[in-house]
Amino acid sequence: MNTSPTFSHLLALPRINVQNANAISSPLTHGFPAITAFMGMMWALERKTRAAGLDIAFKGIGVVCHHHQEQATQASFIKTFHLTRNPVGKDGGTAAIVEEGRIHLEVSLILALESERWKRDEQAKRQDTAALQEMVGGMRIAGGSVMPPPQPGLYRHQPQVIDLTGNEEDRLDAFRKLRLRLLPGFALVSRDDLLDERLAELREEAPGTTRLDAWLSLSRINWRYDNQEHSWQHDRHALGWIVPVPVGYGALSELQPAGSVANARDGTTPFQFVESLFSVGEWVSPHRLEQAEQLIWYPQTGSESQQYRCCNDYRPVSDAFEPLYDFS
């Protein structure tokens, strides 16, 4: 079922260098910032655009990673984060270290936007794009600092607006041209379907298997001895680059009135205790994506489910020309 929001334009911000982003994406995963971090960056950017009076609605965000360098040292099977020593305390003693994982990134961000002004005024589109680029340059992404390009005026990776207001064929053609600018790199997409498949497979052998068992099974490489082949075989054949990913937060308590919880960061907003939600993602080359909806992550909330979840409508197809969505 297609639940992706509609949008009229894509804004590609290519080859952004981020220094010291947060590599610990959740209590159980590390190696790349959580998609919620990029979603939060999108909301922060939307607040800036509203304050500037720009007529832009943000619908979702896509992430393509071109390069990453986790600040860690590996010895044998153990990785150790590069940590900084805090200044000494008032008594001259050594302060405690708060372990923080950091990673340097080169990413392209693709923002899904809706703007009536951009449909009418081409000049306004160019001005708003320049303003958005300047805003992003002064922001943090996943806790990391956005580094300026070496030669801003001559830098060849400039923002690009992709118009998706045409018919279905025009939308597909525009997105296929964008894919060329995103290579080489890998886009993070959701693979909830693999979690369901693994759960069904495990329940054939053990009916009491839970979704957590299936998630843990997909998060590692499982080896089994094949008596027919007389060799050890793993279960990663034809699975692709599968990774465990946090996709949002689920409520642990009822919604508390604003100001009723001590030491809350914001005393004017209702408060709720939450925990991380986990699923399975896949890193895929952008040239394997046929439509923009396969790339874009969007938020989904519900008072009944009490979840804030980042969703993505990617699914692999056997026929590259098979339409995934109906734009009529």
Q: What is the pLDDT of residue 105?
A: 94
Q: What is the pLDDT of residue 327?
A: 44
Confidence of residue 153 (pLDDT cuts 50, 70, 90): low
Q: What is the pLDDT of residue 328?
A: 44
User: Tens of pLDDT along 85-126?
Assistant: 777 777 777 777 677 889 999 999 999 999 888 888 888 888
pLDDT, average across residues 119-143: 90
For residue 229, is pLDDT > 90? Answer: no
Stretch among 60-64, 81-85, 134-138, 183-187 having the lowest mean pLDDT: 81-85
Confidence of residue 155 (pLDDT cuts 50, 70, 90): low
For residue 129, is pLDDT > 50? Answer: yes
Residue 82: CB atoms within 10 Å: 11
Q: What is the pLDDT of residue 316?
A: 79
Average pLDDT, the chain: 86
Say how far apart CA 294 and CA 286 lie, in whole Å. 10
> Which one has a higher pLDDT value, 161 or 222?
161
Stretch among 92-101, 239-248, 319-328 having the lowest mean pLDDT: 319-328
For residue 274, is pLDDT > 50? Answer: yes
pLDDT, average across residues 314-323: 60
Confidence of residue 264 (pLDDT cuts 50, 70, 90): confident
For residue 16, is pLDDT > 50? Answer: yes
DSSP-derived pairing of the beta strands 9-22 and 78-81: unpaired
For residue 84, is pLDDT > 90? Answer: no
User: Tens of pLDDT along 289-302?
Assistant: 989 999 999 998 87
Say how far apart CA 147 and CA 164 lie, in whole Å. 30
Question: Tokens 């054939």 sit at which residue?
Answer: 204
For residue 318, is pLDDT > 60? Answer: no
> Which one has a higher pLDDT value, 81 or 283?
283
Stretch among 35-44, 178-187, 191-200, 312-321 having the lowest mean pLDDT: 312-321
pTM of the full predicted structure?
0.87
Query: At CA 60, angle to CA 55 and CA 66, rounded to 5?
Result: 115
Confidence of residue 35 (pLDDT cuts 50, 70, 90): very high
Q: What is the pLDDT of residue 106?
A: 94
Confidence of residue 279 (pLDDT cuts 50, 70, 90): very high
> Which one has a higher pLDDT value, 257 or 328?
257
Stretch among 7-11, 26-30, 113-117, 222-226 having the lowest mean pLDDT: 222-226
> Which one has a higher pLDDT value, 319 or 317?
317
Q: What is the pLDDT of residue 101?
A: 86
Could you tell me the residue ranges of all domains in the chain? 9-72+99-189, 191-280+300-312
pLDDT, average across residues 196-205: 91
> Which one has a higher pLDDT value, 134 or 97?
134
